[in-house]
Amino acid sequence: MAEQVARLVENNAQNGALVAIQPGTGEILAMVGSADFNNVQISGQVNMVLSPTRQPGSTMKPLTYLAAFEKGWTPSTLIWDVPTDFPPSGDPSDPRDPYRPVNYDGRFHGPILLRQALANSYNIRRCGLWLTWGFMTILQHHNPKA
């Protein structure tokens, strides 16, 4: 974990966490909660896997893109990584301020291939897919018991 975080330091990565799950059973095979347990600067003793301050967004990206592939999209599908406002509840008439996702690098990349969005963990289009198909639809598609 520490080696991977060190490779991403130019992208403002300071810490990381990992959960490896057996897809067929859901069994947790490994869990690493921090890049360095003894590093006070990154709150290393906080298990980021279990922290309630972490949003699950990136953990859902593979399932979201898998749903896109199953719906006929391909790694070569052209998508737009541009500033986009989403209603916070998914309801277009929601009066609250919109959710404006950003990418980890703070940039927008314009027209890109789906494979680039997945490989670079870009957020904008993934949020659009959630809004289009619904988060629970994506989750239930992969776990009928959800």
Alpha helices in the chain (DSSP H): 2-7, 57-70, 114-119, 124-133, 135-142
pLDDT digits over 129-145, tens only?
766 666 666 666 656 55
* pLDDT value of residue 131: 64
Tell me: pLDDT of 76 over 90: yes
CB 81 within 8 A of CB 125: yes
1: nearest Cα among 25, 43, 53, 37: 37
Tell me the mean pLDDT in the region 84-97.
Answer: 83
Q: Which pLDDT band holds residue 30 (cuts at 50, 70, 90)?
A: very high
* pLDDT value of residue 143: 60
CATH 3.40.710.10 occupies which residues in the chain?
A: 55-146
* pLDDT value of residue 49: 83
Q: How far is CA 125 from CA 19, 77, 137, in A?
A: 24, 12, 17
Query: From 3.40.50.300, 3.10.129.10, 1.10.287.70, 3.40.710.10, which CATH number describes the 55-146 domain?
Result: 3.40.710.10
